Chains A and B, each alone.
Chain A
């Protein structure tokens, strides 16, 4: 089955829209599904047209899955710096290890909450005497492990500007953040940037690859 939009790639997903009782099916490939979301096909989350929001839900969750697949090597190695809870244990047992786990696994937590809860931010009772944990930008996973392994103590680059960094691992983290904020435009930019980097690295040969070895994981694992 070929994608209805680009007529080039293999379609991996079928959307069914029902507008005024008329059924409308579209076959999409990965790439087009992502870019359709960018064009605002479903981006009106808060709109009162139910079709729009349902579609948006499907699209954004699909997109998250898409991006997660591309970055899964990073998150699957994430470990909470405070309690040592690993991503895979968290996913398997669905239990957190400490308050900081909420920062460590925020991307996944946000996604899981979104699927069952009416909102992902607390609006209820506020304690008077509590220790308040802010969501820190924890940078878990291979990067952290890598730094200690290499003895590189340089502070992690907190590049906020999209795609400025040439570190693919960092870019993947930024994609996750972007998706979390539902900034799909940024996510797509970052994704393109990764592609670009991967291509140039291929061209540049083994030297550059070596220096980046850890941040980018072998595809052929």
Chain B
């Protein structure tokens, strides 16, 4: 049952072992309304209704189903699911005013209404296809431009509620899986380097070295004084350098600590496969080891479609609760999580036998 290790990753895009997903977000505001902080409740209601009516139009033009809701009316748990799948951002999650969301059925496109800005258009895809998401977001932006009256300044471009977005209103980001650079402590020196290019990197589930799952978001800090394509270009250049460095570091690390790393990978698999209770942070760390082992050719999941990063999202608390169909309402989340992972974790094809 031995397969060539290279096969599974040769089929993917060059940096998919590092780039988990990419995302484009455009911040837009409408004239005639104050920005978020000074918007009256009444105006907030009007704004949300007006923008939500755009759902029909976007559905017609994009030719796929969209879902629209008054976000502030959703239950806490539903909102938390949207937060965990990255469909909404934390600032809109906690807002009490009328807020709204238009979301494509596949959740790859979202329009947040009355968050920090009146409108935030976001497009996301797995792997690295920034060009694709950029063009989707741009197309929806054009549509909304024709339909609504954006607030725009000759000098400052798209006027946003925060100076961190003004100009293009664009934040483009890559979600990166960086176990080797994080563990090796190289992330802080990269952070310093990035500042020179106007880019930043932040932990997805917490700060710096402590981000569980070794997931980090690389994004542009600069939004004004350069064009959208300048922003995409600088990110693209840097992301491929970081990806190369991460992969090189993984291999070097493996060369130096072969048996240690193999032990860790198999041990992680064993725990995930047989544990009866798993905390979120531990589960994410263990899953990261599996992913690393897969990259290094130590283990190979029997299912080629197995997506570890998707699983990391599915074991977040609200997602997990939403998928739980059992009757026992008192059961601990850690037990549900362990059961869920046992069910989802594929068998492995062992490459190496001593």
Which of A's residues lie within 8 Å of B, judged by CB? 83-85, 93-99, 101-102, 109, 112-113, 116-135
Contact = CB atoms under 8 A, between A and B. Distances in A.
A132 B314 CA distance: 44
Q: Could you say which of B138, B146, B225 has the most chain A C-beta atoms within 10 Å of its C-beta?
A: B225
Main secondary structure of the interface of B (DSSP, over half): loop
24 contacts: A85-B38, A96-B35, A96-B161, A97-B38, A98-B35, A98-B38, A99-B153, A99-B159, A102-B159, A117-B198, A119-B226, A120-B224, A121-B156, A122-B157, A122-B167, A123-B226, A124-B167, A125-B157, A125-B227, A126-B152, A129-B150, A131-B150, A131-B151, A133-B152
Interface in B193-248: 198, 221-228
A134 B153 contact: yes
A129 B168 CA distance: 16
A132 B170 contact: no
Contacts of A127: 145, 150, 152, 158
B237 to A, nearest CB: 16
B37 interface: yes
Contact of B155 (A93, A112, A135): A135
Contacts of A132: 152-154
Contacts of A102: 153, 156, 159, 166
Contact of B146 (A99, A121, A129): A129
Interface string B16-28: 0000000000000
Given A99-B151, A127-B145, A122 B158 contact: yes
Interface in B141-175: 141-142, 145-146, 148-164, 166-168, 170
A42 B168 CA distance: 30
B31 interface: yes
B159 A95 contact: no
A68 to B, nearest CB: 17
A121 to B, nearest CB: 5
Interface in B1-54: 29, 31-32, 34-38
B56 to A, nearest CB: 19
Main secondary structure of the interface of A (DSSP, over half): loop
Q: Could you say which of A96, A109, A120, A124 has the most chain B C-beta atoms within 10 Å of its C-beta?
A: A124
A102 B36 CA distance: 15
Contacts of A124: 157, 167-168, 170, 226-228
Contact of A113 (B34, B35, B154, B163): B163
B35 to A, nearest CB: 6
Given A120-B155, A120-B224, A123-B225, 11 more contacts: A94-B164, A96-B161, A96-B163, A97-B35, A97-B37, A99-B29, A99-B153, A99-B159, A109-B163, A113-B163, A113-B225
Given A97-B34, A128-B145, A130-B151, A118 B161 contact: no
B222 A118 contact: yes
Nearest to B152: A130
Contacts of B158: 122, 125, 127
Contact of B145 (A96, A118, A129): A129
A125 to B, nearest CB: 6
A134 B154 contact: yes
A134 B155 CA distance: 8
A110 B160 CA distance: 15
A205 to B, nearest CB: 44
Q: Could you say which of B150, B156, B222 has the most chain A C-beta atoms within 10 Å of its C-beta?
A: B156
B155 to A, nearest CB: 5
